[in-house]
Amino acid sequence: MATGTWDDFTNKYGFRDGASVEPRDFEARSILVELLNEHAAMKAAGLQALEYDRPGLHNPCLLVLVKGQGKSAAELLTSWLAGEIEEGLPDELELEISELVAEAYQT
Question: What pLDDT digit, counting tens, does each position of 48-96 carry?
Answer: 999 999 998 899 999 999 997 678 889 999 999 898 888 899 999 999 9
pTM metric for this prediction? 0.92
The one-character DSSP state at 22 is: -
Q: Of 74, 54, 56, nearest to 66 (Cα)? A: 74
Residue 15: predicted pLDDT: 97
Question: Three-class SS of residue 66?
Answer: strand
Residue 1: predicted pLDDT: 64
Angle among Cα 101, 104, 105 to the nearest 5 degrees reads 95
Residue 2: predicted pLDDT: 80
Q: Do the beta carbons of residue 29 and residue 53 sit within 8 Å?
A: no
Cα torsion angle, 21, 23, 24, 27, sign: positive
Residue 21: predicted pLDDT: 96
